[in-house]
Structure 1
Amino acid sequence: MGFLPSRRNRSRLAPELDDQDLGKLLKSLLANTDLCAAQISGLLGEGRGDWDLRTHRLGVLADHLNETHVPRTWATREPDNADALALYAWARVARARHEGSLANATEVADDCLRAAEIAPEDPTPWVILLKVARLEHWAQPQVFGVWNEVLARDRWNREAYLSMLGYLSPEEGGSRLQILDFVDSLILRMPANVPCAATELTAHVSQYLAILGRGGVEALVARNHWSNVTAKQALDRVAHTWVQPGFLRHARSLADLNTLAYALMAADRRREAAPVFEVLGGVVTQWPWQAGGDPLTEFDQAQRRAAAAP
């Protein structure tokens, strides 16, 4: 998707990013389940075949509705509707992320498989199943089987690549070496502006945040991460191209630009961060800004420091 026009706006958390149709829907969703289902179905129908947009919209809706009865009621009323099943499955995964465990994981996985059966060309049920696999700590052969199902339908699915980063991380039972191998194999074949273009940079920001999270002396010298060759090269590859008008067009490009702005500030490359903030137009994502406290406060302070860079 295209960027917002470059202008100074008050910073705001906008889960829809620059998807104006999704933003309008989030504001208009009512308690009436039938009306909600019709509105959601209409929006998802508009993006059918645009898997990047569809994944973005389903993910935002799942987060927005995960504590409501809407996904469950819709799926119960329309058990052969792939959209309803996918939204209900993703909403339960979103809720599990906050609660720490996934209730009825087998049922959620079955709903994903049922949605995949109804809409065999759609990668989204497999993307959601990949999230289930992470929560349930599936063995690598199973996880890579699901991963291959996603890639067979959507080669550069952003959500799937980021899920694999999480699964392969030391925090989830993988290792730093596995992350490096995964990212290196991607760089060799990935076009520069596909939806998963931020996979490498996300890996570096995640590693940097993990170092900060350990506290002590390691946290005090965490900035050194951005001086090592691989981290510096990762930033160099994208710092100037991503802000070019029209270069990034995927649905969550503004989320990736938030990651870039954060990384440039962490690396003390404030002058390069200034145009990234300009393109963002005040749209803020929770991650990675929340690592330092309130994301809006952290974003605003970083933006001011970038603007004041000599």
Structure 2
Amino acid sequence: MAFLSSRRRRARLAPELDDEPLRRLLKSLLATTRTGMIATTDLCIAQISRLMNQDTDDWDRRTHRMSVLAEYLSPSYLPSAWATREPRNATALVLHAWERLVQGRSQGRLEDAPEVTETCLRAADLAPQDPTPWVVLLGVSRLERWQQSQVFAVWNEVLARDRWNREAYLSMVRYLSPEEAGSRIQVLEFIDALRSRMPANAPCAATELTAQVLQYHAVLARGGIEALVARNHWSQGPAAQALDHAARTWVQPEFFRHAAALADLNLLAYALTAADRRQQARPVFEALRGTATGWPWRTGGDPLTEFEQAQNRAAS
């Protein structure tokens, strides 16, 4: 009956997922900025720096934390203030560049693309083993529509430092889609090449299922009869195979160990719901214990509402 008890737990959007030190930092940053103290900036920077100086060679965890902080602080002056105060601190520079990228995505363009690019390159020079400056630059290259050879050059810089970087693979599968700069054939070739050599539980294991969800969303967006029968997408060859494999393996105890594992389980729960595989979705929701992500649930409306409704259907 454990699942029934988890049903009663109200769903929550938790960008930090199950990263408890990151959750405490976000809570502390919110409380600190509300105080209005004169030393607020110094205190917040010290708190961020303290966390980011932990596990400095765990690139998967570092990328996850940097991504969450950039989103969380995008309306804030803190990343800019930190980079200004410590211009030779690679972490400060990456956070500032990533925060600018988040703002640029929301606006459809970067206000000063050359400056953001230069910030990434300076961070890369200061921390040559760190993949995160290149992860941010990959996002910049997509938003600024660089030539494909340039995008792939940045992509290769990430892989040279972190072979299975989740953020980079998910970025590339979106870049190669026909909705951005590629085609379905390019996505399939990319997935095939990845599948042939990727460890089954690598941080980027959700790349193939992400590609299938993006294609499903593209069908929904076309509207009309295609949207009405969009569920058929999940009964067709590649999509069905990807979903079968994920449903069979991802919920195994200790199968996933990467920082964004709960985000990948959200993706799986969403896809199983879309395919009307309620029985298979049930243990996935049990593993999530109410932790929801904005994407892909927001595609259907309010993400928390969509998550809770899907969870309830899986339990019925």
Secondary structure of the structure 1 residue equivalent to 2:279 = helix
1:100 corresponding residue in structure 2: 108
Q: Report SS of the residue matched to 1:286.
A: coil
Q: What SS does structure 2 have at the residue aligned with 1:240?
A: helix
Indicate which of 216, 237, 248 corresponds to 2:256.
248
Q: Distance in 1 between matches of 2:180 and 2:195?
A: 23
Cα drift, residue 245 of structure 1 = 1.2
Give the equivalent residue in structure 2 for 1:49.
57
Of structures 1 and 2, the one with the larger relative CO (CA 8 A, separation 6+) is: 1
- Aligned with residue 276 of structure 1, among 261, 284, 288: 284
Does residue 1:85 correspond to 2:93, yes or no? yes
Equivalent residue number for residue 285 of structure 1: 293
Q: Which runs of 5 or more structure 2 residues have no equivalent in the other structure?
A: 34-39
The aligned runs of 1:183-194 (5 Å cut-off) are 183-194=191-202
Identity %: 67
1:29-87 CA distances to partner (integer Å, 9 max, x unpaired)? 13311111111111011120000000000000000001110000100010000000000
Letter in 1 for 2:176: L
- The CA distance in 2 between the partners of 1:238 and 1:174, in whole Å, is 25
Number of residue equivalences:
303
* Aligned equivalents of 1:157, 1:188: Cα separation in 2: 16
Q: Write out aligned runs for 1:255-274 (5 A).
A: 255-274=263-282
Specify the SS of the correspondent of 2:138: helix
Q: TM-score, normalised by structure 1?
A: 0.96
Residues 183-222 of structure 1: pairs in structure 2 closer than 5 A? 183-222=191-230
Aligned equivalent of 1:150, options 150, 158, 168: 158
User: Structure 2 counterpart of 1:15, which letter?
Assistant: P
Runs of 5+ unmatched residues, structure 1: 1-5
Shift of residue 240, structure 1, vs aligned partner: 2.1
Pick which of 278-287 and 38-47 moved more.
Answer: 38-47
**Matches of 2:175 and 2:214 in 1, distance apart?**
13
Instruction: Choose from 136, 143, 146 the match for 1:138.
Output: 146
In structure 2, the residue matched to 1:14 is 14
Superposition deviation, residue 210 in structure 1: 1.1
What one-letter code is carried by the residue in structure 1 that aligns with 2:104?
A: A
* Structure 1 runs of 4+ with >2 Å offset: 6-9
1:172 and 1:242 map into 2 onto residues whose CA distance is: 29
Distance 2:153 2:97 in 1: 19
- Of the three residues 156, 163, 184, the one matched with 1:176 is 184
